[in-house]
Structure 1
Amino acid sequence: MISILVPVYNVENYLSQCLDSILAQTYKDIEIVMVNDGSTDHSKYIASSYANRYSFIHLYNYENAGISTTRNRLLRHAQGEYVFFVDSDDYIAPQTLQAMMNHMEAYNCDIVCCGYTMDYRFGALYRKVETKKVMTKQQALHSLAENKGMNNYPWGKLYKKKCFSNVSFPEFMRGFEDTYTVFKALCNAGTIGCISKRYYHYVQHQGSLTHHMNLETAYDMRKAYEYQESCLRRWYPEEDFHFDVHLVNSDFVILYTIFAYYTKKDDPQFVPAVINWKKVNPFVHVAYELCRGICSLRFGWAKTKTQEFNKWL
């Protein structure tokens, strides 16, 4: 049985679509587990109406404690041998679970991942997918580190529940708790399968964390990748992991956040990540230095930073 784990918090406009997409699955050996994290809108009542209609839907209500605690509670309540996270403002294609279970059985996988699209109000963005059908965990971790299709999201992945046997989401984190957690489940897997089909729909709206960035949050993003890299280098010293693409992307977010939301009076500071530029596209390097130089000029940062930027012009 697959336990489909749905965290619920103030998603009254999205929850029905999410649950209907799960009920439409062609694979039927499922239970749906919802944890309501103290919603203050009508989410609790929508969830209750589904739980009252279907015996395989279970709802647990708690006071608000955050997404990490909620996901940990979902894992504790799950009764299936397999688990699949679906965020309650997202939805999945009808064939998702059947295709992923078929792949898991065909290749004897512990985790199977599918692709996803980012759904916006007026269109969709098709994200990069991993093209390999099956990987060792070391190959999957390199794909994750190098941003080649594997991602840090808990959703869009069918796990054998045992992959979370000694793994929990950090309840002290303000954000990016997924980056601190999902790679540990990958480490517990023997074989990871990938389906290039984009079955998962990641719905974008103003409630998302990425729409409420500040400088502290932007630096937290980079710290999460630095934590992941430090763990993998300790656990697999024979492997040569490169997180430079993630670190560059994090620095872009930091620079954009500074430029878009701060003034010179705020005196925002930029501390660059340690990046091996040989592992990064040179055009990206030029764009990075351009953004850094513009911010240096705007905010009056140290002259040495501006001089470093000028060398690229």
Structure 2
Amino acid sequence: MEISVIIPIYNVENYLNQCVDSVLAQEFTDYEIILVDDGSTDNSPTICNEYAEKYTQIKVIHKANGGLSDARNFGIKEAQGDYLMFLDSDDFWNGVIILSEINEIIKKSNPDLIIHELSCFYDLKRIIPRKFKKEDIQKTSFKFKDDLKKLVNNDIYYATACNKIIKTSIIKRNNIEFSKGKLHEDVAWCADIIPYINSYALYSNPFYYYRKEREGSLTIQTKPKNIIDLIDILSEKETLLSKFDGGLSYLSYNYYIYLNNVNLLEEELKQKYLRKLINLNYLLDYYPRNILSLRGKIRLALYKLLGIKYVGLIEYNIRKFLKK
């Protein structure tokens, strides 16, 4: 079997049919879908079972709730395809020749990793493709370690599993798992695969529709755990990624996002995680400036000039005031 599509599911009865049907619509048929019901309490388990009864290429796993990472890990263990794809159950694909075109890429170069474009889906009237720029992908060697810095700096390699297709053997042979119990699991996972990728390919098609601003989605909530987990991940991966040209740029990209959010924490935790941020402030030197707007460049310069503690606090208070 060529491809295993892993779909973790938790209380998404309103989106699940669109998600699964978008894969079943593919003209290419050498794939399996693994539905991992992560202890859903709505009608999602019944929908999963109905699909499994109707389609032989669909497997269903019902398990106690353990979070997104745990669900994906269960799916990986069951996967029989040569390549893994991840599709979140509130997202969907647009098009019917997606897997056919991916199959052609695999037949041509057998890459360790395929990175594809995606689209941010707000509603039918607002769909924003996140496409590769032609000038950014010219003169690529397709040797991953050689091109990593370029891929990060041009916003091609970033922290999501859902725009990556990876050889199953790499994941299983090296026991690479998503971090159970942690948010920002994609930041850690995309860091962990870097040492094991040698060749890669790019698929210029923003077929993956990433649903934005869904009510109840973890991606629109900033809570203390979001902040703590991300800063811990950055600290944990620093040594690993310092070995690769572009690795620290990858960390910096994620570091920059949370510079003022540390002020959301209670005082004791705030001081602890502010110290961690300050210890990593050298990462600002590695931030890929060509993907920043003028406003972003000014923000970065202020953080470097005046320090994380003071600029972060000022920025946090301004945002707090504007929300009133």
Q: TM-score under structure 1 normalisation?
A: 0.80
> What is residue 295 of structure 1 aligned with on the other side?
313
- Number of residue pairs matched? 292
Matched, 1:284 2:293: no
Q: 1:277 to 1:156 in 2, by over 3 A?
A: closer
> What is residue 127 of structure 2 aligned with on the other side?
124
**Superposition deviation, residue 202 in structure 1:** 0.6
Letter in 1 for 2:39: G
**Superposition deviation, residue 152 in structure 1:** 2.2
CA contact (8 A) 1:244 1:279 kept: yes
CA contact (8 A) 1:153 1:178 kept: yes
Q: 1:226 to 1:285 in 2, by over 3 A?
A: farther
- The alignment's C-alpha RMSD in Å is 3.2
CA contact (8 A) 1:25 1:97 kept: yes
Q: How does 1:127-142 map to 2 (within 5 A)?
A: 127-129=130-132, 131-132=136-137, 135-142=142-149
Matched, 1:209 2:211: no
CA contact (8 A) 2:32 2:58 kept: yes
Spell out, residue by residue over 1:111-145, the C-alpha distance to the aligned partner (whole angstroms, 9 max, x if none).
11110011113512322537537621214532465
Spell out, residue by residue over 1:87-120, the C-alpha distance to the aligned partner (whole angstroms, 9 max, x if none).
1111112222111221222233121111001111
Q: Distance in 2 between matches of 1:96 and 1:30?
A: 12
Aligned to 1:155, the other structure's residue is in SS state helix
> What is residue 305 of structure 1 aligned with on the other side?
none
**Superposition deviation, residue 79 in structure 1:** 1.4
Q: Distance in 1 between matches of 2:189 and 2:146?
A: 18
Moved more, 203-212 or 33-42: 203-212
CA contact (8 A) 2:26 2:99 kept: yes
Q: How does 1:1-313 map to 2 (within 5 A)?
A: 1=1, 2-93=3-94, 94-121=96-123, 122-129=125-132, 131-132=136-137, 135-143=142-150, 145-146=152-153, 148-165=155-172, 166-204=174-212, 205-234=214-243, 236=244, 241-242=248-249, 243-251=251-259, 254=261, 258=263, 271=274, 272=278, 273-275=280-282, 277-280=284-287, 281=289, 283-288=295-300, 289=302, 293=311, 295-296=313-314
**Superposition deviation, residue 266 in structure 1:** 10
Q: Distance in 2 between matches of 1:56 and 1:206?
A: 31
Letter in 1 for 2:46: Y
Aligned to 1:61, the other structure's residue is in SS state strand
Spell out, residue by residue over 1:60-85, the C-alpha distance to the aligned partner (whole angstroms, 9 max, x if none).
11111122121111011111122211
Aligned to 2:282, the other structure's residue is in SS state coil
Aligned to 1:251, the other structure's residue is in SS state coil
Which ranges in structure 2 are unaligned for 5 or more consecutive residues?
318-324
Which ranges in structure 1 are unaligned for 5 or more consecutive residues?
300-313
Q: TM-score under structure 2 normalisation?
A: 0.78
CA contact (8 A) 2:9 2:40 kept: yes
Pick the structure with more helix per residue: 2
Letter in 2 for 1:244: S
Q: 1:138 to 1:83 in 2, by over 3 A?
A: same
CA contact (8 A) 1:104 1:110 kept: no
